[in-house]
């Protein structure tokens, strides 16, 4: 099971992988050196850590993701709702809306998403 938590530097590194995959690990190390200022040992240490989290894999020196960026974000969001709001999406949305107003377009998009979710649930029955 993937761990959906990344530190700031891990997130930057993960973005490099998602943008360039499949990528040879040597090329990844060069990009990390150029963009993050990392030594090769740092790159391989962080890569191993992210592979252990189940987000990426390094097979035969080719790095690929085990999930898309959208899947990662979805898992991270689900984890937040489950841990902080006892799995209640309405409680999460209510808390979010206490600090932020929605535009008409955002409200319409949320309405569309909810309508589609209900349709999916009805189809599953």
Whole-number pLDDT of residue 115 = 87
| Burial of 49 per CB tally in 10 Å (0-12, 13-18, 19+) | middle
Decide which of 3.40.1380.20, 3.90.1720.10, 3.30.110.30, 1.10.10.10 is the CATH code for 8-69.
1.10.10.10
In this structure, is the dihedral angle defined by the CA atoms of residues 21, 23, 25 and 30, taken in order, positive or negative?
Answer: negative
- Show me where the domains of the chain are located: 8-69, 88-124
pLDDT in tens, the chain (125 residues): 577 789 999 999 999 999 999 999 999 999 999 999 999 999 999 999 999 999 999 999 999 999 999 999 998 899 899 999 999 988 998 998 998 888 999 999 988 988 888 766 555 55
pTM (two decimals): 0.74
């Amino acid at each position: 099971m993937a761990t959906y938590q990344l530190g700031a530097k891990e997130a930057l590194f993960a973005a490099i992988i998602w943008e360039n995959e499949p990528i040879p690990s040597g090329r990844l190390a060069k990009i990390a050196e150029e963009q993050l200022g990392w030594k090769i040992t740092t790159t391989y240490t962080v890569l191993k850590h992210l592979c252990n989290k189940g987000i990426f894999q390094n097979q035969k020196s080719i790095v690929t993701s085990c999930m898309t960026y959208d899947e990662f974000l979805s898992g991270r969001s689900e984890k937040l709702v489950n841990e902080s709001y006892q799995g209640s999406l309405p409680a999460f949305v209510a808390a979010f809306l206490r600090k932020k107003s929605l535009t008409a377009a955002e409200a319409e998009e949320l309405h569309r998403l909810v309508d589609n979710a209900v349709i999916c649930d009805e189809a599953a029955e």
